[in-house]
């Protein structure tokens, strides 16, 4: 993507944009010229610091919006806040995600509400709220999926279901929103390890890392570059999910 003048720069809303992969996506999109709206739930300090960093590079190019994505009725407010700040919406990145194990026999409705809510329900209703503005702009949606949407991870029943549902949402929206809006997904493999996730002990992590053909764990920047490509440099790609996993998925059963 050619860097555009500020007044015509595309605007992208990134859920979970304050930290980790979301922050890398925000920096990458900003680097190629986009203006970014950083959604956060509780990470206000990180979101505000990142917005300040980006605005120092290019004034009035980043802003923040707070919302709990499980509060579906509030999701249109995020879209309206973005429009009020920047006057347009060209892209939506459904990045925010809950992740924790749910072994069969111990699954609760609270687990279902959290994992399905953040990984599937919120992307659906946020995409629905954004759709009229993305159609007007000829924009795009990118969802962060997971290679385990196709090859289930043991002990993570609800997470697997949620990501599989998000993958199907990508394909469905690509049909529903065509031809004005393209909709694609990025499926990470081993990337930044989850915070506070005990299931990935050191031996498990080492076994996963040893199975990657490219012989390294992915980085947030690997994902961010693919997101930027799908948003801005892939005018004839829609309904696709690209695995950014160093080839790990070809080893999974």
Catalytically annotated residues: 159
The DSSP secondary-structure symbol of 117 reads I
Under 8 Å between Cβ of 120 and 169: yes
Q: What is the DSSP string of 54-106?
A: HHHHSTT-EEEEE--TT-GGGHHHHHHHHHHHHS---EEEE-------B-TTS
**Cα(218)–Cα(249) distance, rounded to whole angstroms?**
13
- Output the six-digit token pair for 183: 């909709």
**Cα(159)–Cα(163) distance, rounded to whole angstroms?**
6
- CA-nearest of 17, 14, 201 to 89 is 14
Residues in the chain: 253
């Amino acid at each position: 993507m050619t860097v555009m003048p500020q007044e015509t720069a595309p605007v992208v809303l990134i859920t979970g944009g304050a930290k980790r992969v979301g922050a890398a996506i925000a920096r990458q999109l900003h680097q190629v010229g986009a203006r970014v709206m950083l959604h956060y739930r509780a990470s206000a300090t990180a979101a505000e610091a990142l917005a300040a960093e980006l605005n120092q590079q290019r004034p009035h190019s980043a802003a923040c919006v707070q919302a709990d994505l499980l509060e579906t009725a509030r999701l249109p407010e995020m879209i309206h806040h973005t429009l009020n700040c920047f006057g347009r919406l060209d892209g939506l990145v459904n990045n925010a995600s809950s992740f924790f194990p749910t072994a069969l026999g111990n699954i609760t409705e609270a687990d279902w509400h959290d994992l399905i809510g953040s990984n599937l329900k919120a992307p659906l209703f946020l995409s629905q709220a954004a759709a009229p503005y993305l159609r007007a702009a000829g924009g795009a949606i990118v969802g962060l999926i997971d290679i385990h949407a196709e090859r289930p991870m043991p002990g993570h029943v609800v997470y697997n279901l949620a990501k599989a549902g998000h993958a199907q949402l990508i394909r469905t929206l690509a049909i529903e929103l065509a031809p004005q809006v393209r909709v694609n997904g990025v499926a990470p493999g081993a990337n930044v390890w989850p915070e506070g996730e005990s299931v990935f002990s050191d031996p498990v992590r080492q076994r996963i890392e040893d199975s990657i053909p490219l012989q390294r764990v992915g980085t947030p920047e690997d994902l961010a570059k693919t997101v930027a490509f799908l948003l801005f440099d892939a005018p004839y790609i829609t309904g696709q999910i690209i695995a950014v996993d160093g080839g790990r998925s070809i080893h999974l059963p």
